[in-house]
Amino acid sequence: MTGWFADRWSRWVAFVGQRETGEGLALFRILTGVALLMTIGGPAVAGLVGSIWVDVAHGGIRPLQPGWLMSLVGGATPQGAWTLVAVGLTASVALIAGVGGRATALVAGQTMIALSSANTHARGSYDSLVINALWLLVLSDSTATLSASCRWKTGAWTSDRLVAAWPRYLIIVQIGALYWFTGLHKISIYWTPAGGFSALYYILQQPSWQHGSMHWLAWVYPLTQGATIVAWLFEVTWPLALLALYFRLHPDRPGRVRRMFNRLRVRSVYVVVGFGMHLGIACLMDVGPFTQATLAFYPCLFRPDELRAAGRRVGRGWVRLRSARRSDAPA
């Protein structure tokens, strides 16, 4: 028993001790910063800060319950609300630029918690997702590359410095939990054959989710049924995507199932379907920055060497495009 435990413990230590370059974490940081900027900046640009985060006693529309941080900066008053908004917006820009590392993520997360918890009637599910992402960034060395910090330290925007890989694995677990539990919660009959797979059609008819009139969906109703099936299967089978990621981590190990998953590119199927699903949500529904917050996790589904290879392909394509434009220009 002792030998078995020691062997498992050694494997665990080796697993959490893995190191890699930081492209995935850097892209996660940048995209999370964009999602945070949209989450806090949207109400600010729309002139809704006073309505959402100011107590009725100070000109808001309902009584609020400010937490410790909002109370510290003046409470649910215009001054307190705008102070937190300013801090949140500054932190989001710093995240995108890659300044401050873990401290910036911690400040951003606490600010987001303070604003989100003050008025539970005005927060969306993406608030929790952004907060979780920021906590994961607190655990991550996300400024090792593609950051201003990297530029200051090395003189270049990119670096080969190695970082711990386990925060990226936690990010993958988080997106997996999001999809799987969301799928398990879809217990309405309308997600099943008994309800005609009509869930998405009815959801898109609700004015609270619409960008505009959706009456035209009646003409393409079978497409909404297909989308309902795909969305539900995508979510409830997400553990298969996690298994596919594990198989790709050690492609040389034996096993027919491993070879089948890698040959069928199961991970790519989930990535393409997920991206298409979120693009459709963004086009058809008004769900705030939910799409941006969710897609921020996607770069971590790829190993850093895969991201670097993709970056090189994009760079070569850009060079060829510029060369073609120059050759076509009149002399």
Domain tally, the chain: 2
Q: Which two tokens stand for residue 116?
A: 């989100």
Torsion, Cα 281 282 288 291, to 10 degrees, reads: 80
Residue 4 maps to a domain: no
Residue 16 maps to a domain: no
Burial 316-328 (b: 16+ CB within 10 A, else e): eeeeeeeeeeeee
CA gap 76, 61 in Å, rounded = 12
* Cα→Cα distances 314→307, 318, 320, Å: 10, 6, 10
Query: Is the pTM above the cut of 0.85?
Result: yes
Q: Choose one of 117, 146, 175: the last residue of a domain.
A: 146
Return left, alpha or beta for 118; rule: phi > 0 is left, psi -120 to 50 is alpha, else beta. Answer: alpha
Residue 322 pLDDT: 78
pLDDT digits (tens, 9 = 90+) for 210-268: 888 899 999 999 999 999 999 999 999 999 999 999 998 888 888 999 999 999 999 99
Whether residue 103 is found in the same domain as residue 34? yes
Is 137 in contact with 91 (CB distance < 8 Å)?
Answer: no
Residue 9 pLDDT: 86
CA gap 129, 199 in Å, rounded = 23
Whether residue 200 is found in the same domain as residue 293? yes
Whether residue 28 is found in the same domain as residue 140? yes
Residue 327 maps to a domain: no
Residue 94 pLDDT: 98
Task: Quote the mean pLDDT of the chain.
Answer: 93
Whether residue 184 is found in the same domain as residue 293? yes
Whether residue 100 is found in the same domain as residue 226? no
DSSP readout, 82-138?
Answer: HHHHHHHHHHHHHHHHT-SHHHHHHHHHHHHHHHHHH-GGG--HHHHHHHHHHHHHH
Q: Choose one of 114, 146, 178: the last residue of a domain.
A: 146
Whether residue 102 is found in the same domain as residue 190? no
Whether residue 141 is found in the same domain as residue 178? no
Residue 14 maps to a domain: no
Domain range holding 70? 22-146
Those residues whose C-beta lies under 8 Å from the C-beta of residue 300, and which sit 6 or more positions away, are 24, 25, 27, 28, 168, 171, 172, 175
Separation of CA 156 from chain center: 27
Q: Choose one of 118, 146, 174: the last residue of a domain.
A: 146
Residue 43 pLDDT: 94
Whether residue 126 is found in the same domain as residue 234? no
Residues in the chain with pLDDT < 70?
Answer: 1-2, 328-331
Task: Provide Rg for the chain, Cα atoms.
Answer: 23
Residue 208 maps to a domain: yes
Q: Which two tokens stand for residue 15?
A: 């697993």
Whether residue 121 is found in the same domain as residue 179? no
Whether residue 136 is found in the same domain as residue 180? no
Residue 171 maps to a domain: yes
Residue 324 maps to a domain: no
Q: Which run of H or E residues covers position 162? A: strand 162-164
Whether residue 67 is found in the same domain as residue 97? yes
Residue 154 maps to a domain: no
Residue 283 pLDDT: 92
pLDDT digits (tens, 9 = 90+) for 17-51: 999 999 999 999 999 999 999 999 999 999 999 99
Whether residue 241 is found in the same domain as residue 206? yes
